[in-house]
Structure 1
Amino acid sequence: MKSRILAGVGIAAVAAAALTGCAGGSGDSGASNEITFMFRGNDAEKEAYTAAIKQFEKDHDAKVKIIMTTADDYSTKLKAAITGKQIPDVFYIDPGSVQAYVKSGIVKDITEAVEADVDLDNLWQYGVDSYRFDGQLMGQGAIYAMPKDIGPFSFGYNKTMFDAAGIPLPDKDKPYTLEEFVDVAKKLTLDTNGDGTLDQWGTGLNVQWNLQPFVWSNGGDWLNEDRTEVTVDEPEFVEALQWFADLSLVDGVTPSTSDAQTLDTYQRWMQGQIGFFPVGPWDVPTYEALDFEWDLIPYPVGSTGEPASWIGTLGIAVSETTKNADLATELAIYLSTDETAQQSLVDAGVQIPNLIDMADEWVASSTLPPANKQEFLDVAQDYGRALPANTTYSAEWYDELFKNIQPVLDGDQTAKEYLEEVKPRMQELLDKANADAGIG
């Protein structure tokens, strides 16, 4: 599921030789009107960017060399370019890399140009803040990248399955409580062909990408406010993780481990066997081909009574060593905020608009599913959060939680036992990350 969330399957990666020969950063050509742009994506994204960049080249009498990789290859290729001192002039960056790249002198502070040229009130605050860093904490201070996109992680349901079961459709404005959600999921978990084996389930959620909404809505979190202490052993977190595990262990509303090995839950959702499943904007083009009707609702709510979810994002950064800082910065701003460029990406179905006024029009005018596109905007504006690891110097402490979590999901260990056991390891890794960042 991770690779699907990060990006769709892309075309063949550009050969390593193309990277080491790029003209950006510390490259040899240094042409005043030529820059390089490196990104990852699929064919639809390549087509959209190619069209947008042609217009940029025309408007600026410039040449932009495109370097594209698959999602899986991007990090390796970028690191190779950095090591070889052939950094592209403009390139994708994720929020979790900002601190390290700033401290290493890899990315340029573009605050002055952004504040002079961009109406920040018309951009999603989350997108801009994801690339702010004040030398201590993420989310504030100077701007080191423009948001390529934001990806509100919403919750989908199979309308056709609800109709077949005679269950009232969910209210898009009133989230289920956790108890209501389990009750409906049980009604959707069925042996539809009478062979004595379940072939339809209420849900099927991946713990690494779906635990967050339930923890946050239950009042829990991974870290304290200043991001110096791991808090996963607090009761709200423990309760949410145990509830998540019990969807399978107690309630039986998810495919079993053996079922999941036969066919993963994403594929079962695609085949109409799953009632509730997460949906990101990047999924929408693929889901147009589904054989059932589907729509979006808020995530079920825990003890706070408020929905929660996370928002993904990629940024467009400018190399600190670019030989054409003005043109490179203009390209980063253009790809993030130009209406025509944004429309190309929205039409390709790879993201929601970065511009708030465009997003409102997109909700009102688009006829493609989902019908409740407003839910994406609600996540973006009201209750979406950064993934915990995006706000710290490294993600090791966060990844540690999921390395040995399977016994909890299998019922061999309680959530409380596991979280008390894993917290010291997470804290040690967080302390190291903060020390590397010069915090504390």
Structure 2
Amino acid sequence: MLKRSKRIFAILATAVLLVGCGSGTKGEGAKTADGKKEITWMCYGQPQETEVYEQVIKKFEEKYPDVKVKLVSTTQDQYGQKIQAAMASNTMADVVYMGPGDVKAWVNSGKMLNLDEYISQAENDGILDLDDVWELALKKYKYDGDIIGQGSLYALPKDVGPFGFGYNKTLFEKLGIPLPDKEKPYTWEEFMEVCKKLTNETGGDDSSWGTGLNVNWSLQPFVYSNGADWINEDATEVTVTDPKFVEALQYFADQTLKYKITPSAEQAQTLDTYQRWLKGQLGFFAIAPWDIAAFEELPFEYDIIPWPAGSTGETASWLGSVGFGVSANTKYPQEAVNLAIFLATDVDANKMVADKQIQVPNLKSLAKDYYLNTDNNPHNKQAFIDLIEKYGKPLPGERTYNAEWYNKFFEGIQDVLDGKISAKDYCEKVQPEMQALLDKAIEREAKEKAKN
């Protein structure tokens, strides 16, 4: 799952970050002074997650009294670099966060433990029911050596995070604008007309705008709902020159360039759009489950609705995720897998993270009952469930060996948003560069497979 960096907590234990399963001697793992087996869990997250997972770990240690868990946390921005360093030095923690886009590379390089044997035993012992876990989340961590989504399981999902769309109900009521339908999405034309009514740039604190979306995370819903994507179905061809893709990108840019329903670049430098959302100055803003805890003290009422629909007539967005993977070199594989199972599927652990408004529960039964019945903002949590079950898609980089080709698209995207180049010209310019990087990723994948 992908989060806003300014809301991700600081390093808690950098000094021990690379201390993991490689620390034992003569084939034995580390043990505490009182003889307990010590396993390390390396992760990232927000302060609310740190608090709740410390409590979850206590419950795990009560269930498995011969195990001690060392929690090592860093920021999401730094995690990738540090996990790669740990892999290179064979000092990976026993349990780590692994994103869907990491599965091919990490498994092919022999870094991750195949969980099948341990999962089967856990199911036989009655401590795990995979049927109650979101199937699409599980598929993100299955790999048969060729295709993601089938084969062996290499991680248990921490979550599946629908990237939702919120609106400022208080601002709508203040301006006398009819509230959005919680089930039927706006068309692009309807959305733009409402945003124009919400925009009231006075120059003071009472200024308001229709929206203020970050292109890196919010362009995808417009592209997907217009029937386009960054790559073709078999993930071999970059398709950003598709007219439907170009139309979606230009529509996104025109929110600022043509319709002026977002704060200008100059205004965003004074106060970015996230801060303006917090102040109640935006009508619409992207909201995911991991945001909700940080929005408890907002000075206005908000809720979740479907993203505006393009030519397909259907809403769409992306689904983030991260999984609990286990190091192939762990000295305590059973204990490490037990921790991954507990974190992912224990009923009390799922309830604890749901209570903290951090994520949709991994367990479908809890998500459709306990989570939906929590009495706090946003009330329309069903919109999150709908994205998981009907309208959500993976981010493009998850489908390939690495995301370098995908990241290339956003390197020069500001020129489109500033009107220095049209969406069509930009896509035609960047497509060959993206394709070259995708071809390299495909070639690298083939070489890694050949080694194994």
Give the alignment's TM-score, normalised by structure 2: 0.92
Tell me the CA shift for residue 7 of structure 1.
8.3
After TM superposition, the runs of 4+ consecutive aligned structure 1 residues lying more than 6 A away are none
Contact 1:7 1:41 (C-alpha < 8 Å) held by counterparts: no
**Paired position in structure 1 for 2:196:** 186
**Paired position in structure 2 for 1:52:** 56
Q: 1:154 aligned to 2:153? A: no
Tell me the CA shift for residue 361 of structure 1.
1.7
Q: 1:434 aligned to 2:442? A: yes
**CA distance in structure 1 between the aligned counterparts of 2:2 and 2:326, rounded to whole angstroms:** 25
Give SS of 1:214's match: helix
**CA distance in structure 2 between the aligned counterparts of 1:97 and 1:202, rounded to whole angstroms:** 36
Aligned to 2:313, which of 263, 284, 305? 305
Deviations 1:181-203 (A, max 9, x none): 0000000011357x7x9921101
Tell me the CA shift for residue 280 of structure 1.
0.7
**CA distance in structure 1 between the aligned counterparts of 2:220 and 2:18, rounded to whole angstroms:** 39
Which consecutive residues of structure 2, in runs of 5 or more, have no partner in the other structure? none
Identity of aligned residues (%): 49
Q: Does 203-212 or 2-11 show the bigger shift? A: 2-11
Contact 1:27 1:85 (C-alpha < 8 Å) held by counterparts: no
Tell me the CA shift for residue 141 of structure 1.
1.9
Deviations 1:267-303 (A, max 9, x none): 1111111100000111111111110110000000000
Tell me the CA shift for residue 333 of structure 1.
1.0
Deviations 1:346-386 (A, max 9, x none): 22222111101101123442011001011111111111111
Contact 1:136 1:437 (C-alpha < 8 Å) held by counterparts: no
Give SS of 2:351's match: helix
Structure 1 segment 35-184 matched on structure 2, within 5 A:
35-61=39-65, 62-116=67-121, 117=123, 118-184=128-194
Give SS of 2:177's match: coil
Q: 1:320 aligned to 2:318? A: no
Give SS of 1:85's match: coil
Tell me the CA shift for residue 64 of structure 1.
1.7
Deviations 1:147-206 (A, max 9, x none): 11121100000001110111110001111000000000000011357x7x9921101111
Contact 1:7 1:282 (C-alpha < 8 Å) held by counterparts: no
**CA distance in structure 2 between the aligned counterparts of 1:384 and 1:3, rounded to whole angstroms:** 14
Structure 1 segment 17-36 matched on structure 2, within 5 A:
18-22=16-20, 24-25=21-22, 27-28=24-25, 30=29, 31=31, 33-36=37-40
Give SS of 1:437's match: helix
Deviations 1:376-405 (A, max 9, x none): 111111111111001211111001111111
Aligned to 2:280, which of 272, 277, 294? 272
Which consecutive residues of structure 1, in runs of 5 or more, have no partner in the other structure? none
Distance 1:159 1:185, change over 3 A: same
Tell me the CA shift for residue 73 of structure 1.
2.8
Q: 1:227 aligned to 2:235? A: yes
Q: 1:394 aligned to 2:402? A: yes
Give the alignment's TM-score, normalised by structure 1: 0.94
**CA distance in structure 1 between the aligned counterparts of 2:236 and 2:2, rounded to whole angstroms:** 29
Tell me the CA shift for residue 79 of structure 1.
2.3
Distance 1:392 1:52, change over 3 A: same
Q: Does 92-101 or 362-371 show the bigger shift? A: 362-371
Distance 1:391 1:269, change over 3 A: same
Q: 1:15 aligned to 2:26? A: no
**CA distance in structure 1 between the aligned counterparts of 2:364 and 2:169, rounded to whole angstroms:** 29
**CA distance in structure 1 between the aligned counterparts of 2:6 and 2:371, rounded to whole angstroms:** 23
Q: Does 64-73 or 226-235 show the bigger shift? A: 64-73
CA RMSD of aligned residues (A): 2.1
Structure 1 segment 227-306 matched on structure 2, within 5 A:
227-306=235-314
Q: 1:338 aligned to 2:346? A: yes
Aligned pair count reads 435
Give SS of 1:316's match: strand
Contact 2:14 2:72 (C-alpha < 8 Å) held by counterparts: no
Q: 1:349 aligned to 2:348? A: no
**CA distance in structure 2 between the aligned counterparts of 1:318 and 1:307, rounded to whole angstroms:** 36
**CA distance in structure 2 between the aligned counterparts of 1:12 and 1:325, rounded to whole angstroms:** 27
**Paired position in structure 1 for 2:384:** 376
Give SS of 2:131's match: helix
